[in-house]
Structure 1
């Protein structure tokens, strides 16, 4: 797994001292945590102090173009309402952007999040969404 820290709304300490926000870091209400991509298992996980806060289950679509396909977002009950799901969705799109991949969301939460954040979540072409749905229909275990 690879991970990157996702600080809370507090200003991150600047390496030279003082406070400044680090570009690209989530600054929502989520507690200090790490988001890790467990690609072999198709899970993007948010953890704090070793505790699982939530995850996005996804698979990688190869055709018609490489894409990440999120199918479920789960937040542990004790962590609901703290920005965990939004932080996971944001990081999923950031990973896709860094890797030059599209995101074809089938998870209703990620679909809604993307609609609210079009600057961070480019819309997937319809043929990619259709291929993602067909992949799930052919292998319900992906769902």
Structure 2
């Protein structure tokens, strides 16, 4: 069973969106939050989990977290930026376009 969560390091600025499958870490997104902006730098899914839609699960958790915390996303990660560009209306509420 897959589950996702957002985890921050002690400084509460840098963190990860983490994805677990059967209690094993299967992927993550590296993020930072400051001044109402969430920057996403990198998305990574372990090779054994590729092709199962796990990057999309991470993205969905990122979007939910941003909405719940009134954050705007700066997509520095190539995967996230590609998804935002492919579906701009879906991500319009959270995408801070002027920063990308």
Task: Sort the TM-score into its range (normalised by shorter chain).
Answer: 0.7 to 0.9
Structure 2: gaps of 5 or more residues = none
Q: Normalised by the size of structure 2, how large is the TM-score?
A: 0.84
Say whether 1:76 aligns with 2:46.
yes
Structure 1: gaps of 5 or more residues = 1-31, 131-143
Q: Which structure is larger by alpha-carbon Rg, 1 or 2?
A: 1
Deviation beyond 4 Å, 4+ runs, structure 1: none
SS in 1 for 2:51: coil
Q: Which has the higher contact order (CA 8 A, sep 6+)?
A: 2
Q: Normalised by the size of structure 1, how large is the TM-score?
A: 0.61
8 A Cα contact 2:5 2:61, kept in partner: no
Note the aligned Cα RMSD (angstroms): 1.5
SS in 1 for 2:58: helix
Instruction: Give the Cα–Cα distance (whole angstroms) in 2 for the partners of residues 120 and 37 of structure 1.
Output: 21
8 A Cα contact 1:93 1:120, kept in partner: no
Q: How many pairs does the alignment contain? A: 94
